[in-house]
């Protein structure tokens, strides 16, 4: 933990405007800082005081000399102490918001910079939680963070998930595992009337994607009494919500057998196992085959992984989103609905929408755009960080 009087000091370069940081910008890049030998020698995750070129304080930051994001703003109070009480205060504020939003303790508890804990993601599953410490400072203080989480939220089991691109960019390892308490197996998660099975230890990311909750609900309403196709389904996010709302049937396609098994178990737990089918397949292959067979559904959902995780991957990613739309559009029955999703922060809403519309047109269909959806309110956006608003979901009604 930091003791403010003894903190090292890092400074902005002389020509770097400090006003964005004073107004709320959360990151400082390496090329914006004076990176002398002393600064480069700081251990990843060190806490330091940030000053502008005129030695005026800007706040307390976490430093990682091996990352392009060399400093992350922790507190704009230059006298703040990053200690156990500071962690508890941030967690209490995050918990208060979620308890206002949701009746049951199943939600994203901490959404990184937007909740004042940069690089930290925490998803809550009742009495259990999964922490993703995606910044070096959080990795360094994982024991203190775990203790604060236990005290504030009252969880009894905590999993550390160390997978993902963000940690590699911070120079961190991928050592995941249970760091507090015990888990008997997948956790049942009630959401939108459905029951999901979340594998907190072996599942993808934290085991479940809470961000799509409001979009699941909207698509489920459209699926009532109809046939639903959920492609890139993971543990059945859209499919199980559709069944809970009264869909006649739901077919899930994913490349992971374990994820589909959890989806089946969720459907059975809901008493909907007879209306749910699952298929392990490459999504593009499955979409192509279904099109060749002339299959049609009342609601088709495609929720792929991030095709454009970086600016360098943007053009290829947009082509992939267009291809998804082109293959999915013919599968929608006349007057039915097509839901297309992107979690690529590098592909902004306008670019993703354009790629989707091009694909629908190339698929021989015309459409109305009914709704543009984003992540739920347990995934608040940081006003100065476009990356925190990564999720886009477009719902189209395809003309007969």
pLDDT per residue over 11-56, tens digit each? 999 999 999 999 999 999 999 999 999 999 999 999 999 999 999 9
* Residue-wise pLDDT tens digits, 147-202: 999 999 999 999 999 988 889 889 999 889 999 999 999 999 999 999 999 999 98
**Does residue 341 have an active-site annotation?**
no
- For residue 219, the 8-state DSSP code is H
Same domain? 88 vs 168: yes
**Number of folded domains that form the chain:** 3
Band of residue 286 on the pLDDT scale cut at 50, 70, 90: very high
Same domain? 50 vs 93: no
Is the residue at 155 inside a domain?
A: yes
Is the residue at 9 inside a domain?
A: yes
Task: Report residue 219 CA to chain centroid gap.
Answer: 19
Cα torsion for 5, 6, 8, 13, to the nearest 10°? 20
pTM: 0.95
Q: Quick one: pLDDT at residue 388?
A: 86
Is the residue at 164 inside a domain?
A: yes
Same domain? 145 vs 229: no
Same domain? 279 vs 387: yes
Helix boundaries (H) for the chain: 19-22, 37-40, 84-101, 136-140, 142-153, 165-169, 213-222, 237-245, 257-269, 283-293, 314-328, 349-362
Alpha carbon distance 239, 229 (integer Å): 7
Residue 212 belongs to domain spanning: 192-398
**Helix H or strand E segment including 338:** strand 332-342
Cα torsion for 303, 305, 309, 313, to the nearest 10°? -90
CATH number for the domain that contains residue 169: 3.30.750.80
Same domain? 95 vs 150: yes
**Helix H or strand E segment including 73:** strand 69-75
Is the residue at 283 inside a domain?
A: yes
| Choice among 10, 112, 243, 343 that is catalytic | 343
Q: Quick one: pLDDT at residue 2?
A: 47
Cβ atoms 309, 346 nearer than 8 A: yes
Task: Please identify, among 180, 211, 246, the residue that sits at the C-terminal boundary of a domain.
Answer: 180
Alpha carbon distance 250, 270 (integer Å): 13
Q: Is 358 helix (H, G, I), strand (E, B) or coil?
A: helix
Cα–Cα–Cα angle for 289, 295, 299, nearest 5°?
A: 110
Is the residue at 197 inside a domain?
A: yes
Cβ atoms 95, 153 nearer than 8 A: yes
Same domain? 298 vs 153: no
């Amino acid at each position: 933990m930091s003791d403010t009087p003894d903190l090292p000091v890092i400074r902005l370069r002389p020509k770097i405007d400090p006003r964005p940081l004073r107004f709320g910008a959360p990151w400082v890049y390496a090329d914006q800082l004076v990176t002398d030998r002393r600064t480069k020698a700081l251990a990843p995750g060190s806490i330091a005081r940030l000053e502008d070129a005129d030695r005026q304080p800007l706040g307390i930051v976490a430093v990682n000399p091996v990352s392009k994001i060399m400093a992350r703003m922790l507190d704009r109070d230059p006298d703040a102490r990053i200690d156990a009480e500071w962690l508890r205060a941030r967690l209490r504020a995050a918990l208060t918001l979620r308890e206002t939003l949701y009746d049951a303790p199943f939600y994203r508890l901490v959404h990184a910079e937007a909740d004042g804990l940069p690089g930290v993601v925490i998803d809550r599953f009742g009495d259990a939680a999964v922490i993703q410490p995606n910044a070096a400072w959080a990795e360094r203080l994982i024991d203190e963070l775990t203790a604060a989480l236990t005290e504030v939220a009252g969880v009894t089991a905590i999993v550390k998930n160390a997978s993902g691109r963000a940690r590699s960019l911070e120079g961190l390892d991928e050592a995941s595992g249970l760091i507090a308490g015990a888990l008997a197996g997948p956790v049942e998660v009630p959401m939108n009337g459905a029951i999901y099975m979340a594998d907190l230890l072996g599942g993808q990311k934290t085991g479940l994607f809470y961000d799509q909750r409001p979009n699941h609900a909207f698509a489920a309403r459209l699926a009532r009494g109809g046939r639903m196709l959920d492609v890139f389904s993971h543990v059945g996010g859209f499919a199980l919500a559709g069944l809970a709302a009264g869909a006649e049937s739901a077919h899930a396609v994913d490349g992971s057998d374990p994820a589909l098994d959890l989806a089946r178990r969720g459907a059975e737990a809901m008493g909907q196992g007879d209306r749910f089918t699952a298929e392990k397949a490459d999504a593009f292959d499955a979409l192509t085959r279904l099109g060749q067979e002339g299959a049609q559904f009342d609601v088709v959902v495609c929720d792929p992984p991030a095709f454009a995780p970086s600016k360098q991957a943007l053009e290829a990613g947009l082509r992939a989103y267009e291809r998804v739309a082109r293959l999915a559009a013919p599968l929608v029955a006349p007057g039915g609905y097509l839901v297309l999703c992107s979690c690529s922060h590098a592909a902004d809403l306008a670019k993703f929408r354009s790629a989707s519309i091009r694909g629908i047109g190339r698929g021989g269909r015309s459409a109305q755009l009914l709704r543009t959806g984003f992540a739920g309110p347990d995934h608040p956006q940081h006003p100065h960080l476009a990356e925190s608003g990564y999720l886009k979901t477009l719902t189209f009604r395809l003309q007969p």
